[in-house]
Amino acid sequence: MNILMALSQLEVTGAEVYATTVGDALGARGHRVFYVSDTLTKPHQGEFFRLRFNKRSIPRRFWHVGYLIYLIRRHRIQLVHAHSRASSWSCYVACKLTGTPMITTVHGRQPVHASRKKFHALGDRALAVCEAVRDQLITGLGVAPELIAIGRNGIDTQRYQPVPPPANDKPVISIIGRLTGPKGELCYQLLDQCLDLDRYQVQIASGSRVPERFHRFQNKVEFLGYVQDVPGLMAQSDLVIGAGRVAMEAILMQRPVFAVGEAEAVGLVTPDNIQAAMASNFGDIGPNDLDIDFTTLPTQITAALDTRFDSVALADSVKAAYDLQAVTSELEAHYQSVIVHRLRREVPIIMYHRFIKDDSEKGVHGTYLHVNMLEKHFKLLKRLGYETLTFADLADNGLASRLEAGKKYIIITVDDGYKDNFDLLFPLLKKYGFKAVIYAVTGESFNRWDVENPDNPEKTVELMTPDQIKEMAASGLVEFGGHTLTHPKLDRLDREQQHAEIAGNKAQLEQLLGHSLHSFAYPYGIHNNDSKQLAKELGYPFAVATNSGPLAMHEDPWQIRRIAIFPRTDAFGLWRKIKGNYVFRKA
């Protein structure tokens, strides 16, 4: 995907660290990430465009919107991810005009006024960094709860490793944060009222210039400026004071953290209060700004330096909630949902069964297609510029790869594994350079499940031999997936019987092919909770149904919708089904 991160800032902020950290993680997964902001200090991968969002006059805002539209079109941006009020307003207008999906991460408490309630400009989904932000969006701004999800800060947990306590002659207290705005006021009050500057060695890491009012502390406080090696600074600290990412990173290093932020003082973070601390983003967000009784903090800070607790358990809690790769995966899922549902487009997955050369081969059931029509289908796909994917491709590259900019992807699936797949489909796959996924029944040599149907018996049709399956798989054009041993209706079987059908079929195909399978198809599209759970437990990354499941395939990888192709589906009918919005119109 092509993603534009939009920020408005004049100095390093937690939003910038968040955006560049997850941006680099997204880039490592194959996405192209661009940035637009007033400034961007943190090292990052991806092109940066300067735009002065903090200049907010009406003419400037028109310029912001126009420039964003230019960036969206020039770089084929598929989703805009805003990180501030100023940028989200302009991004919202630009995305409305271009039809571009948009997400906003809300990093802090929002101002509440009438215009903001009517025009919150959050886009298609808001990601609140903590529960306090979510609650304030709902109660303060009237944002619909279904529009909001929790989107934690992502932290590269490998960068912040546990360190032994330092052997400092005098306790070292490190304050990390801005010296401007609410955080600057907080830092000033800590120095003025709470910290014994003779007893402690206090050092402040900040990207801000030191404001004049802080000059009175310069003889007793070390102002370090912007620090590249924050882990090194934390390692030498007896106590870290901060909120948001600062607190999380220090906890991962098993350094004591006194969480105090723009809203409240959580105090020393321990396993007993970690959940409450996370809910307020470690003190940064609450019902009011800077609602702190500073007179109580000196004794709390002194006690924090002497208190012992289970720092390993605390670090594990933070790691579970903020692990960068887990957060990035959640973010990818949000991106996919917003793109698919906003545009009402999903990669089409079409479903064939068997193919015939003449009318004598027609069956009672409508699961066949004349090979001449199949070639017309393939000609249409080639003319329209479609490229074929398999589930092995998606397992290797991630489900989000199906939304690659400038690509038109389709997944061709074929159920049951009839011999005609080898005789008629295989030559056309070679001719057009297409790939397909064939779901093979391995416990039968013909379609016994249809032939012995007492209500509507079908003619006998031969299945592929093991040698034919191996030849097709070796070509690189065919991925084989599981389809049970005997093609039963799984919901009529108990869990043990389902396990035998699914596991037995998988084992036979994997032994034949010499590699693991990536997808499974429920016979008739029929399944129950046991079926889905077994597919997961047996190691299938994906399972396909027919006309059931979410409209976006990533929202349930074990119940993926497909589009059935029938004998009368001509080239025009196929075009209607593969435009991308077919399942949305039919749902």
DSSP string over 122-172: -TTEEEESSHHHHHHHHHHH---GGGEEE-PPPB-TTTS---PPP--SS-E
Residue type present at position 402: R
pLDDT score for 200: 96
pLDDT tens, position by position, 398-428: 999 999 999 999 999 999 999 999 999 999 9
Q: What local confidence, expressed as pLDDT, does residue 120 receive?
A: 83
Local confidence band at 286 (pLDDT 50, 70, 90 cut-offs): confident
C-alpha distance from residue 144 to each of 75, 120, 124, 375 (Å): 32, 11, 11, 49
State the pLDDT confidence band at 71, using cuts at 50, 70 and 90: very high
pLDDT bucket at 291, cuts 50 / 70 / 90: confident
Q: What pLDDT band is residue 208 in, cutting at 50, 70 and 90?
A: confident
Under 8 Å between Cβ of 542 and 557: yes
- Single-letter amino acid, residue 292: I
Which domains are seen in the chain, by residue range? 2-150 (3.40.50.2000), 172-321 (3.40.50.2000), 345-586 (3.20.20.370)
Residue 332 near residue 154 (C-beta atoms within 8 A): no
Does 96 have pLDDT greater than 80?
yes
Summarize the confidence of residues 260-279 as an average pLDDT.
Answer: 94
**Residue 537 has what pLDDT?**
98
Distance from C-alpha of 411 to C-alpha of 394, rounded to nearest angstrom: 11
| Residue-level pLDDT at 312 | 95
DSSP designation for 460: P
Choice among 280-289, 486-495, 509-518 with the minimum mean pLDDT: 280-289
Which residue bears the tokens 């009020």? Answer: 85
pLDDT at 213 over 90: yes
| pLDDT at residue number 152 | 93
DSSP H or E stretch at residue 383: helix 371-383
Q: What pLDDT is recorded for position 580?
A: 83
Helix or strand run (H / E) with residue 110: none
In terms of pLDDT, which residue wins out, 208 or 332? 332
d(CA 21, CA 41): 12
pLDDT band for 222, please (50, 70, 90 cuts): very high
* Residues written for the chain: 587
- DSSP codes, 66-99: HHHHHHHHHTT--EEEE-SHHHHHHHHHHHHHHT
- Helices and strands: H and E segment counts in the chain: 22, 23
Supply the pLDDT for residue 119. 76
Say how far apart CA 185 and CA 179 lie, in whole Å: 7
Can you tell me the mean pLDDT for 195-200?
Answer: 95
Q: Which residues contact 360 (CB under 8 A, 6 or more apart)?
A: none
> What is the spatial distance between Cα 449 and Cα 500, in angstroms, rounded to a whole number?
17
* Residue 432 phi, psi dihedral angles, 5° rounding: -100, -5
pLDDT number for residue 351: 98
**For residue 117, what pLDDT band results from cuts at 50, 70 and 90?**
confident
Percent of the chain with pLDDT over 70: 99
Instruction: Give the pair of three-digit tokens for residue 152.
Output: 């934690």
3-state secondary structure at position 465: coil
Q: What is the mean pLDDT of residues 351-357?
A: 97
pLDDT, tens digit (0-9, with 9 covering 90-100), for 332-343 = 999 999 999 999
Q: What is the mean pLDDT of the chain?
A: 94
Q: What is the pLDDT of residue 178?
A: 87
pLDDT at 288 exceeding the cut of 80: no
Residue 533 has pLDDT above 80, yes or no: yes
Cα angle 165-42-152, degrees, rounded to a multiple of 5: 70
Q: How many CA atoms lie within 13 A of 439 on its CB side?
A: 30
CA 264 to chain centre: 31
> pLDDT band at 94, cuts 50/70/90?
very high
Q: How confident is the model at residue 316 (pLDDT cuts 50, 70, 90)?
A: very high
The residue with greater pLDDT, 125 or 288, is 125
Q: What share of the chain is helix, strand, coil (3-state, %, to 5)?
A: 45, 20, 40
Cite the DSSP H helix spans in 514-556: 529-537
Q: What is the pLDDT of residue 279?
A: 95
Range list of β-strands (E), 417-559: 436-440, 478-482, 519-521, 542-544
How confident is the model at residue 109, as a pLDDT? 80
Q: How confident is the model at residue 182 (pLDDT cuts 50, 70, 90)?
A: confident
pLDDT at 447: 96
The contacts of residue 335 (CB under 8 Å, 6+ apart) are 1, 3, 79, 81, 101, 103, 400
Residues paired with 481 in a beta bridge: 439
52 residue type, one letter: R
Alpha-carbon distance of 81 to 26, in angstroms, equals 13
Residue range 215-237: mean pLDDT, rounded: 94
Q: Does residue 287 register a pLDDT over 80?
A: no
- Phi, psi (degrees; rounded to nearest 5) at 481: -125, 170
